[in-house]
Amino acid sequence: MFGIRRGIRRLFEPDAPRDGLCGGEPALLELLDRPMLEREARAADVAAGRIGARDRPRRLLEAARVWRELARRTGDASALGRAAAAARASARTAVSGRGSTHGEALCEQARIAVLAAEMFAGPERLKAANEAADRALPAPEARALAARLRAIEAAASDPSLPARDAAAAFEPALRALAGRGRSGAWAAAGLRCERAGVLIEAGARTGEAAPLEDALEDLDRACKALDGAYHPISCARVHELEALALIGLGRIEGEAGPVLEGLDALALALDLIGPDHSPMDFARLEHARARAFMALGEIEQNEDEFDRALAALGRALKALRRGSGLALRAAAAEDRIACLVLRAQTRGDGLALDEAEAALRGELSSLRPSADPTGWAVVQLGLARLYLARAAWTGRDRGEGARAGAALAAALDVFTEEGRPDLAAAASERLAELRAATAARAP
């Protein structure tokens, strides 16, 4: 009796050694807010490094998963580095490279590399992710990761990617998870979300509705396996992807109905998580919301929708204020600039264009090129677009073409130096179009 009491008392002592709150169960991490998740990551490191710890490779693998989730939610590159180190140590210490832990550690390394490629972009990160996925093959999960990588590559270089072939690569992993109870159902729902993301990207590239409709079917199945009370982040992700698919359908069809349904789905997602729970997820949801408002503004030619989009982008950028190298931050900044230009074009007067230029110049003056070169170059892209919009509105070129060319050339240099081929390609394409138009006007 006294021994039981002493054991219970030790569990609640503040300085007692603990192995975390989740006991290595990844699904439970969703219930932890950011400060609790940070403590969980440190506790997992302590458990993996404790002298005499049983099954050290498994403990290291659990630590890698917690650090990866922390990096995914916060955009913290140091957390991502700690996740990668723990995954490498797990694979290295697994007995003779055999057993499930070794294979899982290789897959975890691949997942971390994919997350790095998504968070920070860049061809070198994409190459590292492909190499990690190759090492993890032939595990079913690695095949799903390879399909995601193909989608990322396609989004960057825009080649033809058969959406159904990429989606089929997820089937072996889904079959492997069947019959594993609640943990298997949670993991399968996550895979369905990843596959839906691949299909949505394919639909956005090709302008076809079929991949988007397939994604909605997958998301419906994922939603049935989740409970928002226990899986808030996964449920929010399902609603977010559902919204992106609906917004894509609205753009293809030129109708406001699907876009409004997408906004309803995003509202459900934002009810589940906030900026304190997961800053990156919150920012991504607000970014998606802004794109929905922008789509409505273009469909309905309504200036108020662009105002709502700017407010949502402001909230997204506030949540991302500490992540200067994040691809999501660059995308949100670029969309904010596009939104300013579209609002000015919708109003159709010179004053709106002047207001947009003043806002961009104010943002440019607050940026330090050495501290955030990509952000500075994104604003240069926006200024170029604004100059060309003014020339088109007035019907005369009063030096706007030259200023646009200088801004695009500066942006292209920065994007090339920073290893951002996606943004460099956009700047190069616009610069080529501008030069062709200038040559056509020359006597």
pLDDT in tens, 356-413: 788 878 877 777 777 778 888 888 888 888 888 777 777 777 788 888 888 889 888 9
pLDDT for the residue numbered 9: 43
pLDDT for the residue numbered 384: 86
Q: What is the pTM of this model?
A: 0.83
pLDDT for the residue numbered 98: 52
Q: Which of 137-146, 231-240, 333-342, 343-352 is modeled with the greatest confidence?
A: 231-240
pLDDT for the residue numbered 107: 86
Q: Which of 28-32, 269-273, 341-345, 390-394 has the lowest mean pLDDT?
A: 390-394
pLDDT for the residue numbered 10: 44
pLDDT for the residue numbered 411: 87
pLDDT at 142 over 70: yes
pLDDT at 421 over 70: yes
On whether the CB atoms of residues 202 and 211 are closer than 8 A, the answer is yes
Tell me what the pLDDT averaged over the chain comes to. 83
Share of the chain above pLDDT 70, in %: 88
Share of the chain above pLDDT 90, in %: 29
Mean pLDDT of 224-230: 88
pLDDT at 423 over 50: yes
Mean pLDDT of 120-146: 77
Mean pLDDT of 252-265: 92
Q: Which pLDDT tens digit goes with each residue over 51-96? A: 776 788 889 999 999 999 999 999 999 999 999 999 999 988 876 5
pLDDT at 240 over 90: yes
